[in-house]
Amino acid sequence: AQSVTQLGSHVSVSEGALVLLRCNYSSSVPPYLFWYVQYPNQGLQLLLKYTSAATLVKGINGFEAEFKKSETSFHLTKPSAHMSDAAEYFCAVARPAQKLVFGQGTRLTINP
Amino acid sequence: DAGVTQSPTHLIKTRGQQVTLRCSPKSGHDTVSWYQQALGQGPQFIFQYYEEEERQRGNFPDRFSGHQFPNYSSELNVNALLLGDSALYLCASSYGTGDSAKNIQYFGAGTRLSVL
């Protein structure tokens, strides 16, 4: 069985500050890991994915995440927050055959 | 190139009614998955269709059923609606069902169902 835990349902940072959204996973097989972003009244947009290649993964909009097997973590970071980053972020694990298992989500608020 | 499209955008039903939601996959995709996202929660997997057959199913009752057509589009049907079925229903499409790093799911904007 696979599961994802996102630590912190709500994260608030100032514009220009570091963004860190935490995700820990549980998987009995080597996982594929994903971060999706959801803007209000929209579907999910893929930010980045880890599929057993490089452990540091770069995504869109300046986001990146590092796969740490020893810590079973896949935290999402961005060096400098922008107002447009305000959204809901979901970490997900999948393998095999693509059924995505999502975390509960983290709402990111950016303060001016 | 059109992405994943879902219809309708919003829907209001009453308890006990039946509803049908529709999804057209991204061009070149042949696999459709459906997810339910309750307010304030992460999406939950309902089922996946490939080659017009249900290939995987999540922990949802038989009131939830689906169909995939030869053009790869899909429908989600929910019978005997309950208040708890109120949610955003997301459709995702991908190519194939193999365990490949290339098989990424792309999501539509969803259908928001309200059951009164």
- The 10s digit of each residue's pLDDT in B7-25 is 999 999 999 999 999 999 9
Question: Which residues does A contribute to its contact with B (CB < 8 Å)?
Answer: 32, 36, 41-46, 49, 51-53, 90, 92, 95-105
Q: What is the pLDDT of residues B31-40, one digit of tens each?
A: 999 999 999 8
> Which residues pair with residue A111 across a beta bridge?
A14
Mean pLDDT by 10 residues, chain B (116 residues): 90 97 94 94 94 92 97 97 97 77 82 97
Which residues in chain A have Cβ-Cβ distances shorter than 8 Å to B105? 46, 98, 100
Contact (CB<8Å) A105/B42: yes
Separation of alpha carbons B15 and B29, rounded Å: 34
pLDDT at B107: 93
For residue B84, report the phi and psi dihedrals to the nearest 5 degrees.
Answer: -70, -10
pLDDT at A58: 95
Contact (CB<8Å) B55/A49: no
What are the contacts of A52-60 at 24+ separation with CB within 8 A?
Answer: A52/B101, A53/B101, A59/A35
Which residues in chain A come in under a pLDDT of 70?
95-98
Contact (CB<8Å) B31/A51: no
- The minimal CB distance from A99 to the residues B45, B90, B104 is found for B45
Respond yes or no on whether the N-terminal peptide bond of residue B61 is cis (omega within 30° of 0). Answer: no
Contact (CB<8Å) A36/B107: yes
